[in-house]
Chains A and B, each alone.
Chain A
Amino acid sequence: MKKILRSVLSISLVLSLVTGLMACSQTNTQESNTEQATSTVNLDAYKIGVNLELTGSASVWGLPQKNAIEMYVKQLNENGGINGIPIELVIYDNESNETQSLVVSKKLVEQDQVLAVIGGGTTPTTMASIPYMNKQGVPLVSVGSGDEIVLPVEERKWIFKTPSNNQDISVKIAEFLQNQEKKDIAFIALNNAYGDSGLSVFREVAADYDINIVSVEKVGLGDKDAKPQLTRIKSENPDAILVWAIPPAASIINRNYWELNMHNMLVFSAGAGANAFIELAGKEAAEETYIASGKVWVIDQLSDDDPQKTFIKNYVSNYESLYNDGVSPIDGMAYDAIHLIVKAIELSGDEVSRESIRNNLEKIQDLVGITGVFNLSPDNHQGLTPKDVEILQVQNGEWTLVK
């Protein structure tokens, strides 16, 4: 008797859930189209969501990026916001984890009803949110570097990004290597999405510039030692070594390179550019190392007619005095992200909505930022060119612009 009753109850419970399911999957198809992007704004504040890596493996970048965004908003609001309306930030930690990144995006969109979202700070955390943001119709400005974040543009209607594409960085590095007459290079990729993306893009670019990749090595995010990989490269004796990695792995490679007495040319991609790059690699080891990155470390060496010069100069002095810490090109990318969104809100005039921000992001022209000068369009959701990437070298313990 007990048993029968129990089974009947259980089955009816499951059945009722399934009925609910059928009922709502029928209505759902119409529903999802109508709930899009129509919500307009309460005029107390423009709510912008921030989805960054405040803890976890990418938190090296997440914290300074958050600082940069908060600084921008603080200054903007002190100067009266956008036509008197301030920006309100809603900041969540995605723990450098893809699932959490999607959960955070949902929370920002559905619970906090933000107008636009900045983040994630890495390629995988961004990729996890893309289908959702597209479906909901909320503009997302990513600070991740992978080109696939904004490509193919037909499938990325609501997605934008500020870091230079790996494509642009690769072109710049390839041009540089060609000028230096370096033909055979070894490639060290970080064993994650960042390194993978860099490797595959550079492979394509290298072919156009007559550069041979003679060996490819991987290095792990938490590796303490890259000497075996470098020993292997040493036996190939390439003209240059190109490294696509972030600190601390990038710094360890630089140290090991010096420890193994290697004298090939060592070139890092933009991701290695922590503000303490030289200190982390060690002064002796970092000497003569190259990086393809932005301009924040070499503002004084820029020519006076460089449109970014005063903008970056202000940024650097403000950041350093506010946080008592150095800047890096990476936190500048987050600064650019909020800068783009604010610009799009300004362009929207009185009718600010998710839709208007998206449409106006595509119209941004000649906007001077930290990473470069942005020219966006419906076909280009990133807006920079290889010209915005600079090659820097450590000389006498200081970053020097290589012309």
Chain B
Amino acid sequence: MENRNEVKMLPNDLTITKRIGYSLFVMVFLLFAPLLLGSYFTGMFVLMGIYTIAAVGLTLLMGYAGLVSLAQASFWGIGSYVTGIATTHFEWNIWLSIMLAIIVSAVVAGILGFVTRNMEGHYFTLATLGFGIVLNIILVEEGDWTGGSSGMTGIPSLSFLEYSINSETAWFYLIWAVTILVLLLFRNLVHSNWGRNLRSIHSSSLASSAMGINTGRFRLQAFILSAVTGGLSGALYSSYMGFISPAVFNFEMSIKFVLMVVVGGLVSIWGAVIGVVVVMLLVEFLRDYLPLIFHHSSAAGAIEIIFFGLLLIIMMIYMPGGIVGAIENLRMKWRGEQ
């Protein structure tokens, strides 16, 4: 039963020339994207980059450790609020605040991960859900620090020396540089010994502990890593938006993260970026075209929700490996026929 949802690792057999080709393509795209996209879409890509950072950690946790967390939006929120509080209440430098945000996320995840270390699949998910809701209530109630449900404003933009980053284009370059670094880091991580051990726990935790792998430790580390990406992403988000409020970091946002990760595919770290981009672009597309079909924007809002529900169900039934998994299957088939 445990083996059913085991997923295959992407083959690591791309030739070097192909690799250079792909990298060059991505590089050129990212460099010139803001020029082609216009400022609105550039802004959207900034958000995509921010979401991707948080989604990468969640992919690691869900795809590699096999744990579903419904608290990713909460770590996102912790990152945002720590940055917000440090910069506005204590007037810390923004970069220091981001460092602090990451550390706090890691510590909180460490504690939560420690107390939930023995919980199996469903129980862990429920525990993260409970944590997420409690955290949200704390954000609302501790108004002296968090601004309560009205949220907090005035979080400064990132700056390099005297240059403040305040155009969409500048944010685009910064966020995608960070996103790519995080992606590469996690990519190397999952291909390391550590990653392989993590995956073996997911396949069979009993067998792994028999082989002397400390399963609890790996789980805890994966959880902390996912929280760190959540915290980093949240810190960048708060600085980009300049405004945060508890309603953004709720249960529904956690579900949105799960949706993005699942659509992209849990089989590979790259699933995160694909999931985020596809989901965000789909939303955008639906927003533009549904009102034209239905002539009634409220019905369009409902149809968007219906669409996501359906997408999630159909993906899970027919493509549990997400987009990356489906592409991989196609490639295998094509190879087989050759």
Contacts and interface: CB of A to CB of B under 8 A. Distances in A.
* A and B physically associate: yes
Interface of A: 2, 5-6, 9-10, 12-14, 16-18, 20-22, 24-26, 28-29, 31-32, 54-55, 59, 63, 66, 91-93, 95-99, 102-103, 106-107, 110-111, 123-124, 127-128, 130-131, 146, 148, 191-193, 195-197
Given A18-B173, A95-B301, A124-B149, 15 more contacts: A6-B19, A9-B23, A10-B180, A17-B31, A21-B170, A25-B163, A29-B164, A32-B166, A54-B297, A93-B300, A102-B241, A110-B39, A127-B243, A131-B243, A193-B245
A107 B140 CA distance: 29
Contacts of A26: 163
A55 B243 CA distance: 21
Nearest to A5: B16
Given A17-B177, A93-B297, A25 B243 contact: no
Interface stretch (B40-48, B201-209, B266-274, B321-329): B40-48
A107 B298 CA distance: 18
A107 B38 CA distance: 11
A20 B31 contact: yes
B44 A103 contact: yes
B128 interface: no
Contacts of A55: 298, 301-302, 304-305
Contact of B40 (A22, A24, A31, A107): A107
Given A14-B180, A22-B160, A28 B241 contact: no
B30 interface: yes
A124 B180 contact: no
Nearest to A96: B247
A128 B173 contact: no
Contact of A98 (B19, B27, B151): B151
Interface residues of B, number: 53
B77 to A, nearest CB: 12
A13 B180 contact: yes
A92 B30 CA distance: 29
Interface of B: 16, 19-20, 23, 26-27, 30-31, 34, 38-40, 43-44, 47, 140, 143, 148-151, 153, 160, 163-167, 169-170, 173-174, 176-177, 180-181, 184, 241-245, 247-248, 287, 291, 297-298, 300-302, 304-305
18 contacts: A9-B19, A18-B173, A20-B31, A22-B160, A28-B170, A31-B167, A32-B166, A55-B305, A66-B297, A93-B301, A97-B247, A107-B40, A124-B150, A127-B153, A192-B140, A195-B149, A196-B143, A196-B150
Contacts of A18: 173-174, 177
A123 B150 contact: yes
A211 to B, nearest CB: 22
A20 B171 CA distance: 10
A196 B297 contact: no
Contact of A25 (B151, B165, B241): B165
B301 A17 contact: no
Contacts of A123: 150
Contacts of A32: 166-167
A130 B245 CA distance: 14
A59 B297 CA distance: 12
Contacts of A127: 150-151, 153, 243, 245
B19 to A, nearest CB: 7
Contacts of B298: 54-55, 59, 63, 66, 93
Contacts of B297: 54, 66, 91-93
A2 B181 contact: no
Given A21-B165, A91-B297, A124-B247, A197 B150 contact: yes
A28 B149 contact: no
Contacts of A107: 40
Nearest to A104: B287
Contacts of B163: 22, 25-26
Contacts of B160: 22, 25
A54 B247 contact: no
B142 to A, nearest CB: 12
B27 A24 contact: no
B149 A193 contact: yes
Task: Point out which of B38, B164, B243, B248 has the most chain A C-beta atoms below 10 A from its C-beta.
Answer: B243
B150 A24 contact: no
Nearest to A148: B150
A28 B38 contact: no
B4 to A, nearest CB: 34
A97 B305 contact: no
A251 to B, nearest CB: 20
Given A17-B31, A98-B248, A128 B241 contact: yes
A131 B40 CA distance: 16
A161 to B, nearest CB: 15
Nearest to A6: B19
B181 A14 contact: yes
A127 B173 CA distance: 27
A388 to B, nearest CB: 24
A16 B31 contact: yes
Given A10-B180, A98-B248, A111-B38, A131 B153 contact: yes
A18 B19 CA distance: 22
A10 B22 CA distance: 11
A5 B291 CA distance: 49
B101 to A, nearest CB: 18
B150 A9 contact: no
Contact of A196 (B40, B149, B184, B300): B149
A24 B16 contact: no
B149 A10 contact: no
What are the 9 closest A-B residue pairs judged by CB atoms, nearest first?
A21-B173, A17-B177, A55-B301, A193-B150, A110-B40, A28-B167, A192-B149, A25-B163, A20-B173
Q: Which of B39, B173, B174 has the most CB of A within 10 A?
A: B173
Contact of A106 (B19, B40, B151, B305): B40
A102 to B, nearest CB: 6
